[in-house]
């Protein structure tokens, strides 16, 4: 029968798994079975990581590249939220808007954000506009969809109660519809941030002149596997931090309302 395991056991197993993984990696790298060009050891990657924080590569240090990446991400993400959330809310509240916009949305849904890269390159060259556009393409749908769901699936009884209490419509929107959509919106922001960050990486691999993705491509072109891996680690760390921060926000909001998911 399925056994529950104690926290201690789970911790031990986790550490074993982790150490096993790193050990295997290290072992393979050092054994010489695979040349260190292909598989640098964890230490070499760490080494490269710290070097890059001081020394420039492909135009900037690692923190420099990260800053450039994050800047684009921020613009694209905020733009997506500022346009997407109100749009989603309005679509949820006003059926006619939903019927007009949804078909367009559904048609564009199947175009992966990355497919906008050629047009982005065509219109913006390697300027900052390109990546921002791609990030927007990735971050926009979840913002809209989640705001839409939050607005549409308000418990109808709440609205009935508000009407019974004689609440004027602007107040219904501000004090009932909006607050009840917030959990869904925050959830959407989390997904949106994740997709936006991913789209950024993709965009930078192709049409950038700065940023972590660009650094990785240069690393690949120079056959510097350690650079590529260091880049991957950096991207992963930033993505994780972003996600954790938003997850925390999500949980704080859920706790305040006594919602358990």
Partner 1 sequence: MPRRISIGFATIFVVCIIWYAFTTGLGIIPSGRFPSPAETWSALTHVSGRGYGGGDLAMHVYNSLRLVVMGFLFAVVTGVPLGLLMGWSRRAEAFINPIFLIIRPIPPLAWIPLAILWLGLGDAAKIMVIWFSAFVPSVINTYAGVRNIDRPVLEAAYMLGMPKLRFITEVLVPGASPMIFTGLRLSLQASWTTLVAAELVGAFYGLGRVLNVAQQDLYPGMILVGMIAVAILGWGTTRVLGMAEAWALRWNTAALAAKG
Between CA 176 and CA 154 the distance in angstroms is: 9
- Least separation in angstroms between residue 221's CB and partner 1 is 9
Return the DSSP state at 37: T
Q: Is 256 in the site for partner 1 (CB under 8 A)?
A: no
**Residue 57: beta bridge partners?**
60
Taking Cα atoms as reference points, which of 199, 194, 196, 201 lies closest to residue 250? 194
Stretch that binds partner 1, among 84-92, 152-160, 232-240, 252-260 (CB under 8 A): 232-240
Contact 225, 75 (CB under 8 A): no
- Least separation in angstroms between residue 236's CB and partner 1 is 4
Q: Is 4 in the site for partner 1 (CB under 8 A)?
A: yes
Q: Which of 30, 82, 122, 249 binds partner 1 (CB under 8 A)?
A: 122
Question: Which residues between 141 and 160 bind partner 1 (CB under 8 A)?
Answer: none
Between CA 53 and CA 65 the distance in angstroms is: 10
Stretch that binds partner 1, among 51-59, 76-84, 94-102, 154-162 (CB under 8 A): 94-102
**Which residues, 6+ apart, have CB-to-CB distance to 197 below 8 Å?**
73, 235, 238, 239, 242
Q: Is 226 in the site for partner 1 (CB under 8 A)?
A: no
Question: Which residues between 12 and 71 bind partner 1 (CB under 8 A)?
Answer: 13-18, 21, 38
Between CA 66 and CA 4 the distance in angstroms is: 42
Contact 180, 127 (CB under 8 A): no
Count of C-beta atoms within a 10 Å radius of residue 84: 25
Stretch that binds partner 1, among 48-56, 67-75, 84-92, 110-118 (CB under 8 A): 110-118
User: Where on the chain is the footprint of partner 1 (CB under 8 A)?
Assistant: 1-5, 9-11, 13-18, 21, 38, 99-104, 107-108, 110-119, 121-123, 197-198, 201-202, 205-206, 213, 216-217, 219-220, 223, 225, 228-229, 231-233, 235-237, 239-240, 243
């Amino acid at each position: 029968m399925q056994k529950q395991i104690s926290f201690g056991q789970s911790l031990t197993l986790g550490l074993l798994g982790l150490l096993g993984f790193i050990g295997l990696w290290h072992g393979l790298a050092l054994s010489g079975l695979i040349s260190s060009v292909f598989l640098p050891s964890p230490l070499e990657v760490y080494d490269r990581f710290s070097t890059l924080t001081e020394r420039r590569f492909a135009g900037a240090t690692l923190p420099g590249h990260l800053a450039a990446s994050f800047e684009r991400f921020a613009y694209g993400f905020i733009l997506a939220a500022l346009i997407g959330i109100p749009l989603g809310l309005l679509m949820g509240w006003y059926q006619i808007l939903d019927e007009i916009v949804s078909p367009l949305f559904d048609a564009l849904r199947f175009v992966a954000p990355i497919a906008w890269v050629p047009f982005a390159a065509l219109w913006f060259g390697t300027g900052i506009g390109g990546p921002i556009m791609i990030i927007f393409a990735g971050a926009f749908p979840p913002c809209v969809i989640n705001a839409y769901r939050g607005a549409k699936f308000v418990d109808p009884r709440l609205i009935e109660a508000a009407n019974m209490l004689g609440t004027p419509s602007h107040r219904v929107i501000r004090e009932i519809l909006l607050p009840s959509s917030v959990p869904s919106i925050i959830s959407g922001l989390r997904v949106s941030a994740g997709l936006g960050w991913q789209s950024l990486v993709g965009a930078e691999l192709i049409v950038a002149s700065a940023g972590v993705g660009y650094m990785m491509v240069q690393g690949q072109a120079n056959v510097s596997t350690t650079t590529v891996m260091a880049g991957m680690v950096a991207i992963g760390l930033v993505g994780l931090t972003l996600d954790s921060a938003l997850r925390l926000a999500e949980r704080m909001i859920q706790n305040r309302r006594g919602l358990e998911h």
